[in-house]
Chain A
Amino acid sequence: MIFVQYVINGLIIGGAYALIGIGLTMVFGIMRVVNFAHGEMYMLGAYFLFTFFTKMGINFYLSMLLAIAAVMGIGGIYEKAILKPLRRRSIETVMLSMIGFSLFIQNIAMLIWTPVPESITSPFPLTAYTLGGLYFLPQRIMVIFAALFLVLLTHLLLKKTKIGKAMRATFQDLEAASLMGIKIDRIYSFTFVIGVGLAASAGTLLGPIFTVHPYIGNLANLKAFAIVIIGGLGSFTGAITAGFLLGVFESLGAGYVSSGYQDAIGFILLIIILIYRPTGLFGKIGQRR
């Protein structure tokens, strides 16, 4: 029974991981940019929720939306100010400017919120529902439903809307897409904003479960990279699958092995994937870059 409980807990956290993963994989797949500040966007999402909800007492769901919107705004400004002018520059320049940006955000967060870990108060009752010997905390039920809702929303955005179609076209062939009259700059900005928004939403979902401090972005980054590589760089389905897989493996690892190494599990999975299937679970075989 405890095994099933671990798996369920893992799936719940995995839902938020899937969100982080699809955000990163979208930005990579469409823009060819590795967003090293992705974890910092997750961190900001959690901190904004802390400020709006715990400090200012705004309604929880409204606070979540405000937090996500704020991070999307910051991401949008960064995209316009730094990434757009760097579009023709080498991949190293873009990567390092992202690293600089992530260091900047991390240290600004430290100045604003101090390095002392904060916890976001949960608006949900702390008594768990029991079902056949399994426990479900209301907070966590909300997390998994919100995560599934957002994944579905992103899926619909990509498949059913005009801009989603344009994004997929850009993903498949940048030049052909731009020849067909798709405004690449707009697609890039939109993709980046949606990508960081997904990271922020994961931050608002996991923030009330874990504590929040300026360095949580580092591990979130590491996990996001692991998810994206395990799933296959640029693969939407891969990121979702790998997100849930990572959540379950972490939960089982913490339960049966050691909780100290819980955060290393993503990396261990990543190494196994690189040995046996370097392009990831859903990556195209033969793809090199």
Chain B
Amino acid sequence: MNRDRIITLLFLLGSLIYPILMRDPYYMHMAILIGIYALLAISLNLLLGYTGQLSLGHAAFFGVGAYVSSLFYLNLKIPVWIGMVMALIASGILGYIVAKLSFKLRGAYFVIMTIGITEVLKLVGLNWVDLTKGPMGLTDIGAPTIHLGGLGTLDFGDKIPYYYLILSLVVLCFYLQYRLVSSSYGRAFISIRENEDLAESVGINCYKYLVIVVMVSASIAGVAGSLYAHYVSFIDPGVFAFFISVNVVMMVIGGGQGTLMGPIIGAILFTLIPEWLRVFGDARMAVYAVMVIVIVIFMPRGILFYVTQLLNLRKKT
């Protein structure tokens, strides 16, 4: 076994026993949020890290997932699990539309489209009061349950079961990411990132692959949104906040884009950093903005890269 595998397994082991070590509800809450953001970061990593397409509208897919799943639950009283699948499908379709429209041209178009769609969905969330209750938001969104036959029901309303639910989905998505990028699809994605014209010339249909990767990415983000809604049980148009999109991009870049573990590390860092920045009071977001600039300029390869480089240096000396 190589070093990366050992580290990944140790990480998984640590996550498994985390609830036993950390009883405090606040730490459990942060862990659950980290898990949800890790899903979002993995989904963006497929797009940004492997195909090099920057999305600044992951909040759109996240928010659509949250709203679709909550509305299905509240209006039709169907089980949460089906709502989650609906969230996945709805976000996937949205991703398909965005990709189809914006990849006719390259460069800034996709970025602008993703920002635009988020703002428009926020407007819809605020103004379609009959459906979304506008700025009041949706309340009483229940948590999923599983009926275990004679053993009673497993209620995910508690933090610890929900934590394990999220953890299992993060592991699943991590595995999906691993399989996808080591398949022929992954090689096509990377070739698009490295040199699109060359990729096209050896017969890779870049447009097709880009549409696929956006759909996959959007679907995962939709599931993350659904999980968020059923966890906090309240959502408002704030789920379409531009800050979420930016923060997810920072997770992928800060953690290490185009690496398997990068988005996980990034999700941990950038879920906690905005919390720590609370010491700055009202200037919190201004400090965060400066951090964004510093990271994209000085650490574009992510913290993981610089840490491993440091370790390798020490080994040599």
Interface stretch of the complex, out of B1-9, B15-23, B278-286: B278-286
Q: Least Cβ distance of B233 to chain A in Å?
A: 27
Interface residue ranges of A207-227 to B (CB < 8 Å): 218-219, 221-222, 225-226
Interface stretch of the complex, out of A15-23, A49-57, A100-108, A243-251: A100-108
Cβ of B123 within 8 Å of any chain A Cβ, yes or no, is yes
Question: A218-B119, A258-B127 in contact; A95/B54 too (CB < 8 A)?
Answer: yes
Cβ of B101 within 8 Å of any chain A Cβ, yes or no, is yes
Interface stretch of the complex, out of A124-132, A149-157, A175-183, A263-271: A263-271
Interface 1/0 per residue, B108-119 and A, CB below 8 Å: 110111011101
Question: A93-B300, A222-B119, A264-B123 in contact; A288/B289 too (CB < 8 A)?
Answer: no
Interface stretch of the complex, out of A138-146, A165-173, A196-204, A273-281: A273-281
Interface residue ranges of B92-126 to A (CB < 8 Å): 101-102, 104-109, 111-113, 115-117, 119-120, 123-124, 126
Give the complex CA separation of A289 and B108 in angstroms: 8
Cβ of B32 within 8 Å of any chain A Cβ, yes or no, is no
In contact, B282 and A289 (Cβ under 8 angstroms): no
Cβ of B242 within 8 Å of any chain A Cβ, yes or no, is yes
Give the complex CA separation of A267 and B282 in angstroms: 32
Question: A99-B246, A226-B116 in contact; A274/B102 too (CB < 8 A)?
Answer: yes
Question: A92-B54, A99-B246, A288-B106 in contact; A274/B101 too (CB < 8 A)?
Answer: yes
Interface of B, secondary structure class, is: helix
Q: Least Cβ distance of B291 to chain A in Å?
A: 8
In contact, B290 and A100 (Cβ under 8 angstroms): yes
6 A-B residue pairs with Cβ-Cβ distance under 8 Å, sorted by A, are A34-B111, A85-B297, A95-B111, A100-B292, A260-B127, A271-B101
Task: Give the interface of B toward A (CB within 8 A).
Answer: 52, 54, 56, 101-102, 104-109, 111-113, 115-117, 119-120, 123-124, 126-127, 242-243, 246, 249, 253, 282-283, 285-286, 288-293, 296-297, 300
Besides the known contacts A92-B54, A225-B116, 12 further A-B residue pairs in the complex with CB atoms under 8 A apart? A28-B108, A82-B297, A96-B54, A97-B293, A99-B292, A103-B246, A108-B286, A111-B282, A222-B119, A226-B116, A229-B109, A260-B123
